[in-house]
Amino acid sequence: MADVAFVAIIIAFFGLAALFVRFCDSVIGADDEMLADEPVSTDSERLAA
């Protein structure tokens, strides 16, 4: 019985960890948006920002 409980804890943790991977992926957003060409700002714009 104890064996089942500890194996269940291990598998449950890794299930949650896999969900955490999905959560982090949603935080950083999709690749396509980031990899799309962005206009390069000039030095003066960057300094003003």
Partner 1 sequence: MTIPNWLALGLLIVAILVTVPLLGGYMAKVYDPSLGKPRGDRFFSAVERAVYRLCGVNAEREQRWNVYALSLLAFTLVSVLVLYVQLRVQGHLFLNPDHYKGIEPKLSFNTAVSFVTNTNWQAYGDGVMSHLSQMAGLAFHNFVSAAAGAAVAVAFIRGLVRRRTRTLGNFWVDMTRTCTRILLPLTFLASIVLLSQGVIQNFNASKTVHTVSGQVQSIPGGPVASQEAIKEGGQNGGGFFGANSIHPFENPNGITTFLEIWLELAIPFSLTFTFGKMARDKKQGWVVFAAMFVLWLGMLLLIASLEPTGNPHLTAVGANQHVTSTQAGGNFEGKDARIGNAACGVFGGSTTSTSSGAVACQHDSLLPLSGAGTLVNMMYGEISPGGTGSGLFGMLIFALLAVFIAGLMVGRTPEYLGKKIQSQEMKLVALYLLLPAIFILAFAAAAVVIPTALHSPANAGPHGLSEMVYAYTSAFNNNGSAFGGLAANTLWYDTTLGIVMLAGRILPMIAVLAIGGSLSRKKFVPATAGTFPTGTPLFGSLLFGVVIIVVGLTYFPVVSLGPIVEHLAGRF
CA angle 18, 19, 23 (to 5 degrees): 120
Q: Considering the rule CB under 8 A, would residue 39 count as an interface residue with partner 1? A: no
Q: Output the CA angle 6-8-11, nearest 5 degrees.
A: 110
Nearest approach in angstroms of CB 26 to partner 1 is 10
CB of 33 to partner 1, least distance (A): 9
Least spacing, CB of residue 16 vs partner 1, in Å: 9
How distant, in Å, are the alpha carbons of 3, 9, 33 from that of 22? Answer: 29, 20, 17
Q: Is 2 in the site for partner 1 (CB under 8 A)?
A: yes
User: Does residue 8 belong to the site contacting partner 1 (CB under 8 A)?
Assistant: no
